[in-house]
Copies of this chain bind each other. A is one copy, B any other.
Amino acid sequence: MSYQVIGKSVKRVDAVAKVTGKAKYTGDFVEKDMLVGKILRSPYAHARVKRINTEKARALPGVEAVLTCADVPHIKFATAGHPYALDPEHRDIEDRLILTDKARFVGDAVAAVVARDELTAAEALKLIEVEYEELPSLLSVEAALAEDAPAIHEDRPDNVIASGGYAYGDLEKSMQESDLIFEGEYETGIVQHCQLENHNSYAYVDGENRIVIVSSTQIPHIVRRVVGQALGIPWGRIRVIKPYVGGGFGSKQDVCLEPLNAVMTLAVGGRPVRLELTREECMIDTRTRHAIKYKIKTGVSRDGKINAVHITAISNNGAYASHGHAIASSGGAKFRYLYTPQAMKYEPRTVYTNLPVAGAMRAYGCPQIFFAFESHLDEIARALNMDPIALREKNLVQVGHKDPLSDTRVLSCGIRECIARGRELIQWDRKKALYKNQTGDRRRGLGMACFSYQSGTFPHNLEVAGARIVLNQDGSVQLQIGATEIGQGSDTVFAQMVAEVLGITVDMVHVISTQDTDVTPFDPGAYASRQTYVTGMAVRKAALEVKEKILDFVRGMTDIPAGALDLREGNVVYAHSGEVVMPLAEVAMQSYYDPVFSSPITSDVSNNARINAMPYGATFAEVEVDIKTGKIEVLELFNIHDSGKIINHQLAEGQVYGGAAMGVGYALYEQLLFDEKTGRPLNNNLLDYKLPTIMDIPDIKAVFVETNEPTGPFGAKALGEPPAITPAPAIRNAVLDATGVAFRRLPLNPQHVFEKLKEAGLLDRDGE
């Protein structure tokens, strides 16, 4: 296909708004005299609240309300940002109260205050007297799974949230038929999203007694539902508004603040109350990425054909279910589309512990499982004395592959080309030879790792999306979508799609970036890399409907059959020749003001995308390991993607830079640490939590291998999350290549690397 706007690096539609500061975020709407809400958090990882005395806090001048678990609805609710399921078996686990009388992690919300200002609110928190009964803290999955472990939630006596996985083929037989069996254990750490804008919201009751919540969220329509569920009020009585959002990465795909904020405003007669978390609070009481432990057993033939894969996993979910088992489960499902062993068994378990709640984070379980399996593969290649690329190429999926467990087919697959491009760009063969048999203090190595992903959540979840387009009198259009711009550039991509269909320039498409559940078409929001692919279908459908209405209107004006017409460069033209029939603006004016046929042209569509598409890709990394200090420098990093047709290269590169940087942090630096006895967070701030800065990030190269996905709008597949998946295993494999040491735990920070290298005898006795 040849496109006019699709594939062009048009400027972000919100670029000027954002660089000039005109883009309004939730905090920009906060009025000076708004009341302030603050949360009292448990100092214990596991404790029962025996008594709370709020008298002194209530008596403090300027305190408007003090709330405890006795003051909030006693309705358990789920916070995960998934579409609702009519099937009760398919719903998220309802294990949360707005305020709890049993603290399940250090930081759990046991009370809250509303006061006239921050200082008064903080002061009031100190005046709340809580008497706790401490319970044994279960700070690891092992502790939680121990026979005598107390139940963190009464209705889950074994602390297991869920354990469903999948299996196909005859695993035992395939293992037996294999020449070699490899086993390995791998482990990832807890990290946090650290998006720029902390979670914040404000809420008030409007004149019609409806609760209005303005929130920095990825999922306004879901927030509306969850607030309704948590408070036990009809969902139509709630309005959620999402201004510009300063990043989310999945942490805002959870309903963290809004139910409490709603209760706060109700407690003060509907006056506006602001609730803003500090960075320290964000890092422990929003969501984290699950730490997962894997055991992998793989049966391989001597020539490198993978016959059987058996993976067990234990996912540390922390204190509440949130997305829960969906992470381990979905990571496993997305992983299934890359290699095609005859038999496979995936046995994940997701476990409650007394740690902060894990939830969605960019790539939803995939960074973990691909770290494990791609590391495992390099160990196999080493044992077989095969090139890691050759081993993978022997086992890669093909176009036309039908998933053995669902109806999903791979209709486009550029993984081989991605690998070929990486091999060439990093000069794999030349350097591999060069770096053989290194000695000395600084050793270089090459590593690579592949991934598969999905575009949205079908068939697991509903993938409905909505779009509304209005043609203005000047031939420009407004576009409303329920999908949310959170920095990823979706508004721009949607504008390009509309412009492409309507034959206009992007500056003629005004995207309403603010979602308001009162007027915004229904769409669950930004997650699962679904927007370009899933919401894109709805946007394209809406644009096609507007186009059809325009051409039909012109038929009415001219008697030229609509089928003979097209829209190009702001004009209605003859499709066959491009000869201009009339300017689009003239049609638009007629559609508004024709005395007889006036009918302003709009479309208001919903699309249920009952399909999915697999993006693929690979990361190639070159590292230099300082053997004496354990410090790893990433010299080169190629993050290569088959995301189908790229709608906007510049934006796509932005996604890759951000995602790959996150992957580098995951590989080398980041880990949220807790005191092993008390469960208290040790580094929940940006000084102590080692988020890489621009100086720590290599010069990432974004590479695209464009395929044409037949199910995607304009051939597109997902791209948002994939860049974050394989930097860690690629770097880890490069370190293995450089040092011969197989790291099996993230992150590879100097302490970890140093200890492991020492253990492997690469340093002499004095540690030199």
Contacts and interface: CB of A to CB of B under 8 A. Distances in A.
A438 interface: no
B476 A592 contact: no
A751 interface: no
Contacts of A473: 84, 225, 235-236
Interface string A580-621: 000000000110111111111011101010100000000000
A590 B22 contact: no
A209 interface: yes
Given A86-B593, A518-B478, A207 B20 contact: yes
Contacts of A206: 17, 22
Contacts of A604: 468, 602-604
A237 to B, nearest CB: 8
Contact of A474 (B32, B236, B480, B522): B236
Given A476-B234, A592-B84, A464 B598 contact: yes
Contacts of A237: 474, 476
Contact of A13 (B22, B208, B464): B208
Contacts of A464: 592, 598-600
Interface string A453-483: 0000000001010101010111111101000
Contact of A522 (B85, B462, B600): B600
A318 to B, nearest CB: 28
A208 B485 CA distance: 15
A456 to B, nearest CB: 14
A631 interface: no
A130 interface: no
A731 B66 CA distance: 62
Contacts of A512: 518-519
A79 B235 CA distance: 43
B593 A83 contact: yes
A210 interface: yes
Given A209-B16, A210-B510, A519-B512, A608 B598 contact: yes
A14 interface: yes
Name the residue among A17, A84, A519, A603 with the largest chain B CB count within 10 angstroms. A519
A23 interface: yes
A508 interface: yes
A18 interface: yes
Given A512-B519, A598-B462, A589 B474 contact: no
Interface in A498-546: 508, 510, 512, 518-519, 521-522
Contacts of A598: 462, 464, 606, 608
Contact of A18 (B207, B210, B600, B610): B207
A697 B592 CA distance: 43
Interface string A69-96: 0000000000000011110000000000
Interface in A195-214: 205-210
Contacts of A235: 472-474
Name the residue among A209, A462, A468, A522 with the largest chain B CB count within 10 angstroms. A522
Contacts of A32: 32
A17 B236 contact: no
B519 A478 contact: yes
A590 B474 contact: no
Interface in A358-416: none
Given A16-B209, A23-B207, A207-B22, A593 B234 contact: no
Interface string A621-643: 00000000000000000000000
A521 B462 CA distance: 29
B593 A236 contact: no
Contacts of A602: 521, 604, 606
Contact of A590 (B86, B209, B466): B86
Name the residue among A84, A235, A603 with the largest chain B CB count within 10 angstroms. A235
Contacts of A519: 470, 478, 480, 512, 519
Name the residue among A208, A474, A478, A590 with the largest chain B CB count within 10 angstroms. A208
A568 to B, nearest CB: 19
A86 B589 contact: yes
Nearest to A476: B236
Contact of A472 (B13, B236, B475): B236
A733 to B, nearest CB: 40
A236 B599 contact: no
A207 B518 contact: no
Contacts of A16: 207-209
Contacts of A13: 208
Contacts of A596: 608, 610
Contacts of A18: 207
A756 to B, nearest CB: 48
Contacts of A470: 519, 522
A574 to B, nearest CB: 24
Contact of A510 (B17, B84, B208, B597): B208
Interface string A15-29: 011101011000000
A301 B594 CA distance: 45
A216 to B, nearest CB: 17
A115 B462 CA distance: 54
A593 B510 contact: no
A518 B472 CA distance: 9
Contact of A606 (B236, B480, B590, B600): B600
A571 to B, nearest CB: 16
A143 to B, nearest CB: 38
29 contacts: A16-B207, A16-B208, A22-B205, A22-B207, A22-B270, A83-B593, A84-B592, A225-B473, A234-B474, A236-B472, A236-B473, A237-B476, A462-B593, A464-B598, A464-B600, A466-B600, A468-B604, A470-B522, A478-B519, A512-B519, A519-B519, A595-B610, A596-B608, A597-B608, A598-B606, A599-B608, A602-B604, A602-B606, A604-B604
**A-B pairs with the 4 shortest C-beta distances?**
A17-B207, A236-B476, A22-B207, A236-B472
Given A234-B472, A510-B518, A522-B592, 8 more contacts: A13-B208, A16-B209, A20-B207, A208-B510, A225-B473, A236-B475, A236-B478, A464-B598
